[in-house]
């Protein structure tokens, strides 16, 4: 992975091209980090998608007048590759001084380029500012656990924190609950630049009761952890399944935008289309 990241534009001085250039896109295979978690690319333990929003998309129409749009990109989680975010930003900015006849032409170009790099069909939608304004914001669903009175002294990723505040393995009690929990305290860091990535994490499950305090301490342990957004969410999913007996599990994170992009990975045991949400910090 380190060699691959070294070849990416992350952490390097980059020239901002203002003429359309699909070669700026850089892909990273999901396989290596998934194998680290015991996930096999051809036998995923979840369904899911990565939903991106691009707020820095503009081009010139056939008369040379600038056009501005907000873009939504949806990558299925079974795609062989994810798209490195800085390369995505550089790619979108390459539209700035290029002329296109219509939104449909831009939509077609972006859809083809992203699908080629991700090696799977990528869904793309374009919104006018007025259309996007009407969507407003949503509240994070479920119970917020951020105000729990706990002591935190671990800021390096530590999955054993899920075992409970006493540090003992959780034994199935036979009790089954269904609940949704959320926390706005998720923070991780870019694996190359070290820049902070802030987000809201949502965990919805049915099964053995999850220790709320243990979960919050575990979330805080990502604070100095370096990993991409998608990989962090898959790590949380795998760890919860390891420490708890769960019949159903959904984990997703809504990350704040950085570089004009926000990334929202969603993973679930349920083969259902996730609700499209947008939180206040996005």
Could you tell me the sign of the dihedral formed by the alpha carbons of 233, 265, 223, 170, in that order?
Answer: negative
Closest by alpha carbon to 160, among 239, 227, 244, 216? 239
Place of tokens 């049915």: 206
Residue of 197, 211, 239, 262 with catalytic role:
197
Q: Is 190 a known active-site residue?
A: yes
Residue of 50, 113, 190, 239 with catalytic role:
190
**Angle subtended at Cα 249 by Cα 1 and Cα 114, rounded to the nearest 5 degrees:** 45
Cβ–Cβ < 8 Å for 20, 109: yes
**Angle subtended at Cα 18 by Cα 12 and Cα 19, rounded to the nearest 5 degrees:** 115
User: 33 to each of 30, 128, 162, 279, how far by Cα in Å?
Assistant: 6, 36, 21, 28
Q: Is 103 a known active-site residue?
A: no
DSSP 8-state secondary structure symbol assigned to residue 257: P
Catalytic residues: 190, 197
């Amino acid at each position: 992975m380190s060699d691959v990241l070294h070849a990416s534009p992350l952490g390097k001085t980059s020239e901002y091209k203002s003429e359309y250039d699909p070669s700026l896109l850089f892909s990273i295979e999901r396989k290596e980090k998934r194998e680290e978690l015991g996930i096999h690319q051809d036998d995923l333990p979840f369904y899911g998608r990565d939903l991106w929003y691009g707020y820095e998309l503009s081009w010139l129409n056939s008369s040379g007048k600038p056009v501005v749009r907000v873009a939504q990109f949806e990558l299925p989680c079974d795609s062989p590759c994810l798209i490195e975010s800085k390369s995505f930003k550089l790619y979108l900015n390459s539209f700035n001084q290029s002329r296109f006849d219509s939104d449909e032409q831009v939509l077609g170009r972006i859809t083809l380029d992203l699908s080629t790099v991700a090696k799977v069909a990528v869904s793309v939608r374009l919104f006018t500012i007025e259309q996007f304004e009407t969507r407003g914001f949503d509240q994070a669903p479920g119970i917020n656990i951020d105000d729990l009175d706990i002591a935190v002294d671990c800021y390096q990723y530590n999955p054993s924190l899920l075992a409970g505040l006493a540090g003992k393995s959780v034994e199935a009690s036979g009790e089954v609950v269904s609940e949704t929990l959320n926390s706005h305290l998720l923070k991780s860091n870019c694996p190359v630049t070290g820049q902070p990535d802030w987000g809201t994490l949502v965990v919805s499950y049915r099964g053995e009761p999850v220790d709320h305090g243990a979960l919050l301490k575990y979330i805080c342990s990502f604070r100095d952890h370096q990993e991409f957004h998608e990989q962090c969410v898959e790590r949380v999913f795998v760890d919860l399944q390891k420490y708890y007996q769960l019949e159903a599990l959904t984990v997703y994170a809504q990350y704040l935008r950085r570089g004009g992009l926000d990334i929202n990975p969603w993973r679930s045991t349920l083969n259902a289309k996730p609700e499209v949400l947008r939180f206040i910090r996005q």
